[in-house]
Structure 1
Amino acid sequence: MNRSCYYCGSVNKVKNGKTYYGKARGKCKDCRRQFVFHRQNRSLSPEQKRLIKLLLLERLSLEGICRVLAISAYHLYRYMDELYVEVPDDLNAQVSAQAELQLCCYECESDELWSFVGCKANKQWLWVAQDRRSRQIVALHLGDRGAAGARGLWENIPQQYRQQATFFTDNWEAYKQVIPAQRHRASKEKKDTNHAERLFCSLRQRCARLVRKALSFSKKLDRHLMAIMFFVANYNLSLLL
């Protein structure tokens, strides 16, 4: 027990039992923090990083990924942050100026896509703009389901689409406040937004954070958004293959 505290460097420490995995644990009497004696700094192998990229695209909890790969949550979160930083702003979508868009705002009352962060009272609505021909998602926005949410999506849509595309939406009132009337096609029929509904079905099945009744919900809004963007960017890439 001749090592100093990992956090403050103090040698004023005592033994403090063992961890869940049986490793000797100490406690600093100055900063009051606990640490493990003889801690090993293990980095992720290239194979583990490859598997993490694949498992993050499936409906598996973060704790489940840790169990499958026998890694700590600390290393998983650090590598996730590296992956999220690399997500491009254009979501890997190849913009076509002649394409039509299909937009849809989903409401929980009609059993459509919604999500929450922290608790179900903190609802976060996912707005998407999907190219009707290529099926690529060209923009998304996370926010409320009012005019502010529709405006946030409109601002994220590439300029080529905002100037030339025809927009097909459901009859949600918020769209009428941001989309030019001459290029807006609002309808109550599901056939006009069936591709967007099919997209949200894929999101439900493959993104654990969007599952309604599960313990895999997001605790922080920024991670919630980046996890969705990470999936969408890889989804767009898969459509190009």
Structure 2
Amino acid sequence: MTIHCPQCNAQDIIKSGFAKNRQRFKCKQCNYQFTSFSKERGKPLWMKLEAVLMYMSGMSMNATAKILGVSAQSVLNWVRDFGEANYEKPTPESAVVVELDELWHFIQEKKNKLWVWKAYDRNTGRLIDWELGSRDSRTLGHLLERLSQWQITVYCTDNWKPYQQLLENHPDAFHVISKKETIAIERNNSDNRHWFARFHRRTKVVSKSKHMVDLSMALFAKFRVNGSIELLRNWRLTLLS
């Protein structure tokens, strides 16, 4: 039987004495020492990735946990860790037309409203930034402050007052107020609600922390808007083969 290193999966293994009367081995690739009775701790990587894929396909963490036979807390930990490792936003560059809109959400209960302000680049079809907070000028201001690093020519929004207050006399970009010019980001909002259970309009899935909402937005942007989830599916299949 071929012995593999549990650390790096290499096969270049040599004997390295005994530990508690058990043969000990040493990996010549990474110098990791182990016994032939060593057991891998925790769940396999493919299962963790499967949980993330289920989460990004509209399933709740509780439902995912039941299918995989693990705890909901384990699924939460896996999704959180994966989200933090893959948290990124596009690097500022030029963007001719950017659509802005806000997505309604809540924390714990519906009276604790949380708004997700989003910036969508119409030309590239990318979600370039987002901000979580209240539906006011202060939250929008945080988003616009970061967007100032982009070379934006036109902002397209609806007629919500904060947009008018902060963009009416914008020195570098033209402001267009029209529902007809925010169709793309409205479609993006629909995708947002479709692919993540926590964003469904009518759901028993409840967000309990702002941090997890932010990580969910990062996963949505990277794998459902700006990139492809097929990369993760192929990686999972490789681990199973």
Verify same fold: TM over 0.5: yes
| Corresponding residue number in structure 2 for 1:199 | 188
- The correspondence for 2:198, drawn from 209, 212, 216, is 209
| Corresponding residue number in structure 2 for 1:225 | 214
Q: Does the CA-based 8 Å contact 2:88-2:222 persist in structure 1? A: no
Q: Does the CA-based 8 Å contact 1:103-1:169 persist in structure 2? A: yes
Q: In structure 1, what is the Cα distance between the partners aligned to 2:52 and 2:196?
A: 13
Aligned residues, how many? 190
The alpha-carbon distance between structure 1 residues 186 and 100, as it changes in their structure 2 partners (threshold 3 A), is closer
Aligned alpha-carbon RMSD (Å) = 2.5
| Corresponding residue number in structure 2 for 1:118 | 108
Q: In structure 2, what is the Cα distance between the partners aligned to 1:211 and 1:87?
A: 23
| Corresponding residue number in structure 2 for 1:67 | 66
Q: Does the CA-based 8 Å contact 2:100-2:120 persist in structure 1? A: yes
1:177 equivalent to 2:171? Answer no
Deviation at 1:198, TM superposition (A): 0.4
Q: In structure 1, what is the Cα distance between the partners aligned to 2:130 and 2:87?
A: 13
Q: In structure 1, what is the Cα distance between the partners aligned to 2:128 and 2:177?
A: 21
Matched-pair identity in %:
24
Q: In structure 1, what is the Cα distance between the partners aligned to 2:54 and 2:207?
A: 17
Q: Secondary structure in 1 aligned to 2:141?
A: helix
Structure 1 runs of 4+ off > 4 angstroms? none
Q: Secondary structure in 2 aligned to 1:166?
A: strand
Q: In structure 2, what is the Cα distance between the partners aligned to 1:98 and 1:154?
A: 14
Instruction: Summarize deviations over 1:175-197 as a string: whole Å, max 9, x none.
Output: 13333166233323x22000010
Q: In structure 2, what is the Cα distance between the partners aligned to 1:98 and 1:200?
A: 20
| Corresponding residue number in structure 1 for 2:234 | none
1:77 equivalent to 2:76? Answer yes
Deviation at 1:101, TM superposition (A): 0.7
| Corresponding residue number in structure 2 for 1:97 | 94
Q: In structure 1, what is the Cα distance between the partners aligned to 2:91 and 2:109?
A: 36
Q: Structure 2 stretches of 5 or more lacking a match? A: 1-38, 232-241
Instruction: Summarize deviations over 1:63-115 as a string: whole Å, max 9, x none.
Output: 0110111122232222223112213331xx3654143211123xxxxxxx311
Q: In structure 1, what is the Cα distance between the partners aligned to 2:218 and 2:171?
A: 29
Name the structure where strand makes up a greater proportion of residues.
Answer: 2
| Corresponding residue number in structure 1 for 2:124 | 134
| Corresponding residue number in structure 2 for 1:57 | 56
Question: Which amino acid in structure 1 is aligned with residue 196 of structure 2?
Answer: C
1:88 equivalent to 2:76? Answer no
Question: Which amino acid in structure 2 is aligned with residue 213 of structure 1?
Answer: R
Q: In structure 2, what is the Cα distance between the partners aligned to 1:173 and 1:68?
A: 46
